Amino acid sequence: MSVAVAFWFGLLVVGHAAGRLYGSYTVRRGGDDDRRSRGTYRLLSLIGLTAVVGLTLSGLVDATETALSSLHPALAGGLAAPLAWVPTGIGAIIAVLVTYLGVFPYARERRGLEISAATAVGRLAKYLVAIAVLCLGLIAPVIVLVGLSDPSPVLIPLLFAVLLFWIAVWTQYSVQLSQEIVEPTVDQRRRLEAAADRADTTIPLAGVIPGEETETAGLYLGGSFRNRRVYATDYTFDALDNDELTALCARVTAADDLRLPERRALVVSLLLGLFLTLTIWRSMTVALLALAIVWPLLSWYLQRCAFAADRRAADEVGADDLASAYEATEDLADDRGRLHERLAPRPSTARRLERLRH
């Protein structure tokens, strides 16, 4: 346990210093390059992964599981195994937040943001906690199955059902769980309701995501297919005119008609279920080989669904207005390579614009 504590405190120091060095570098270099913003995400991801791997290898998970098993007989029956990852997740989240505190002052200076460090860290913390809860819910059935000496094939459909339910819940409520939601102003609600009427959209506006500091324009679907809601960023109302806002409303309606959130949940659960099933009943090599074949095919399927929703919206309101709305997005190419584009479940904005204009 002492090794884990020493590693964690050392990582906090290294992460904060790395964040300050990277932030200072971006300020000296000047400009507002999207790749440098993505560099921040990569730095935070590296620190988070290092924290998880380091704390696991240093024995924190095993020590936590042993401690939990000694507390109550019910925990010793298997519940302690997934709960043992909670301290590791908390440690990784704190490490990421400390690193972000090192980067943020320079990012605020470079981009002229008015948001405070406490608000920015609070929003990131909410997102990370939501992701951690999702991951814990996903690894719990895996740990239980791996712990069985002779897993029954009957558990395969049960595994798929658990994954599908958990991912479907996350997909439908990820906006509320991971983002700060505020009430829209009177003008924002009026503009979006007028655009929804023009696009014949019946999905109501549930809230606004304070997003001016990220300069991201977009509408996001939330809730189940029986109780769908729309969420918009602040920047959407500043960056888009009424015709472009109408185009995004039409795109949201098309996504709802095609059940895109449910399709994504099904694809992710199928990928995870296939990988876990083959790993448990065959081997990791077979699972990776199957994943390498199936993942590109299912990603291609989801991208085709996204393009189909774009075409429906373009037929409804015109391709030019929808393309103009997409151009307000901060990062058109998403800084993707060819392999990333092939494996991503959503096509890049640049490819969407190319399809709309040809």
Of the pLDDT bands very low, low, confident and very high (cuts 50, 70, 90), residue 297 is very high
Cα distance between residue 205 and residue 199, in whole Å: 14
If you average pLDDT over residues 202-225, what whole number do you get?
81
Is it the case that residue 86 has pLDDT exceeding 50? yes
Of the pLDDT bands very low, low, confident and very high (cuts 50, 70, 90), residue 166 is confident
Q: What is the DSSP letter of 150?
A: S
If you average pLDDT over residues 206-223, what whole number do you get?
79
Is it the case that residue 280 has pLDDT exceeding 90? no
If you average pLDDT over residues 68-85, what whole number do you get?
70
Q: State residue 65's pLDDT score.
A: 77
Three-state SS annotation for 296-331: HHHHHHHHHHHHHHHHHHHHHHCHHHHHHHHHCCCC
If you average pLDDT over residues 225-235, what whole number do you get?
88
Give the contacts of 279 (CB within 8 A, at least 6 positions apart). Answer: 287
Question: pLDDT per residue over 247-269, tens digit each?
Answer: 999 999 999 999 999 999 889 88
Closest CA to 174 of 122, 221, 233, 218: 221
- Going 317 to 251 to 301 to 225, the CA torsion angle's sign is negative
If you average pLDDT over residues 227-243, what whole number do you get?
89
Select the more confidently predicted residue: 210 or 248.
Answer: 248
Contact 48, 11 (CB under 8 A): no
Is it the case that residue 35 has pLDDT exceeding 50? no
Degrees, nearest 5: CA angle 261-264-268 = 140
Q: State residue 98's pLDDT score.
A: 95
Is it the case that residue 78 has pLDDT exceeding 70? no
CB atoms within 10 A of CB 344: 15
Select the more confidently predicted residue: 39 or 30.
Answer: 39
- Going 321 to 261 to 305 to 197, the CA torsion angle's sign is negative
CB burial class (10 A; 0-12, 13-18, 19+) of residue 144?
Answer: middle
Average pLDDT value over all residues in the chain = 84
- Lowest mean pLDDT, pick from 185-199, 265-279, 293-307: 265-279
Is it the case that residue 298 has pLDDT exceeding 50? yes
If you average pLDDT over residues 31-50, what whole number do you get?
73
Q: State residue 302's pLDDT score.
A: 94
If you average pLDDT over residues 297-304, what whole number do you get?
94
Q: State residue 358's pLDDT score.
A: 75
Question: pLDDT per residue over 95-133, tens digit each?
Answer: 999 999 998 888 777 766 677 888 888 888 988 988 888
Q: State residue 36's pLDDT score.
A: 44
Percent of the chain with pLDDT over 90: 31
Select the more confidently predicted residue: 207 or 81.
Answer: 207
Q: State residue 85's pLDDT score.
A: 84
pTM as predicted: 0.75
If you average pLDDT over residues 26-36, what whole number do you get?
58
